[in-house]
């Protein structure tokens, strides 16, 4: 929580810390796919009113996009499964489960429903001192963080950095079916200090963002 992080800052000497930003992909969709037992290859979109608020990669590969009208989405992808997402209760519950799981790695601050900052400094230092890193592990550090680097490298795209994996490498901006899975996926980006990653059931911004 933010209080845990503030206490940590007050009691810990200033030093480089390993902060992980975990963003859970197409969170509302992941929750609904798990709740409804839908296969990973099935195109799925979560809607609010008459708009798509998020969709999985099979849907994106057919041209479905966030904030698209549901009529246009179905026209582009006739096999699309539309699921109403006005009730945020299942997404809040899944977000709480994810947060509880992430606390095993350090203090956690949640942003919306699908993004979490985790201070993994203590875990990373313990693993490093115990020689527990797997052979070949690369710890990435960046002054600005990888999010900024990705955004600068792909200016003008329609997706946030974590969504760019769905873009076709051969035709800047067109979508290909990125590997989605019935198991909740995630995108993690390290802050200054070190890298780590995690996965759990998904999430998104508290209003109606729906995830990446």
Residues with a catalytic annotation lie at 115
Residue 190: in which H helix or E strand, if any?
strand 187-190
Q: Using CB atoms within 10 A of its CB, is residue 42 exposed (0-12), middle (13-18) or buried (19+)?
A: middle
Instruction: Quickly list H helices, the chain.
Output: 2-11, 27-36, 57-60, 70-76, 89-102, 121-129, 146-153
Residue 12: both structure tokens together: 């810990």
Question: Directed axis angle between helix 27-36 and helix 89-102, to 10°?
Answer: 100
Residue 121: in which H helix or E strand, if any?
helix 121-129
Among 146, 125, 128, residue whose Cα is nearest residue 15: 125
Residue 72: in which H helix or E strand, if any?
helix 70-76
Distance, CA of 136 to CA of 144 (rounded, Å): 24
End-to-end CA distance of the chain: 23
Distance, CA of 91 to CA of 202 (rounded, Å): 8
């Amino acid at each position: 929580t933010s209080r845990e992080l503030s206490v940590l800052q007050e009691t810990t000497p200033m030093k480089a810390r390993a902060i992980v930003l975990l963003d859970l992909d197409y969170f509302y969709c992941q929750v609904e796919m798990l709740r409804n037992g839908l296969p990973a290859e099935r195109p799925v979109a979560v809607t609010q009113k008459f708009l798509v608020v998020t969709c999985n990669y099979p849907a994106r590969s057919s041209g479905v996009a966030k904030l698209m009208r549901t009529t246009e989405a179905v026209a582009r992808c006739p096999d699309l499964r539309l699921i109403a997402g006005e009730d945020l209760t299942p997404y809040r519950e899944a977000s709480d489960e994810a947060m509880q799981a992430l606390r095993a790695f350090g203090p956690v601050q949640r942003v919306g429903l699908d993004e979490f900052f985790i201070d993994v400094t203590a875990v990373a230092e313990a693993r490093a001192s115990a020689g527990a890193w797997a052979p070949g592990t690369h710890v990435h550090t960046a002054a600005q963080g990888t999010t900024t680097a990705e955004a600068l490298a792909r200016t003008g795209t329609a997706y946030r950095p974590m969504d760019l994996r769905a873009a076709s490498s051969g035709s800047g901006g067109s979508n290909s079916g990125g590997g989605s899975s019935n198991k909740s996926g995630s995108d993690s980006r390290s802050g200054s200090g070190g890298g780590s990653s995690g996965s759990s059931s998904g999430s998104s911004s508290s209003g109606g963002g729906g995830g990446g």
